[in-house]
Structure 1
Amino acid sequence: MAKSFPHSFEVCKCRGVTLGEIIFSIKENGADSIEKIGELTDAGTCCKCCQSSDKDIGVEKMELYLEQIVNKFVK
């Protein structure tokens, strides 16, 4: 995650979930996995393309995935 993204960056386009909402679910609500983030925010629960580059079936790859966020913020 070399690029800096604003908290308003939409990570999950299907559900309209922002990076800020995901970070809040990790730091304030203890989400420590993609599944728990999905339970709290709905991110990654529709097409699942935002979960990881392996699951991204789009022609244009996404800029940021839940997997990257979890790896950075979950210790």
Structure 2
Amino acid sequence: MIDNLHSTQSCDWPRPGSLVRDTVTGRDGRVMDYGLDRLESGGPPEQVVFLRPENGGCEWAAAPENVEPLAL
């Protein structure tokens, strides 16, 4: 299923390597990848964006609708 995930991404989603803001946490990070995760809900897996702080650190997952590109 994850193999097909990249082919179904919306064209306006930030590309891996893009600097974005997680609007829920207010944290800025780089898009590392897209995938499936259970997030905090513990329910069925949901599509997420994996983010990592720009200067390194622990990766976190955000819902795609909560990620917005940052202007450079």
TM-score (norm 2): 0.30
Higher helix proportion: 1
Judging by fraction of residues, say which structure has more strand.
Answer: 2
Say which one has the larger Rg. 2
TM-score (norm 1): 0.29
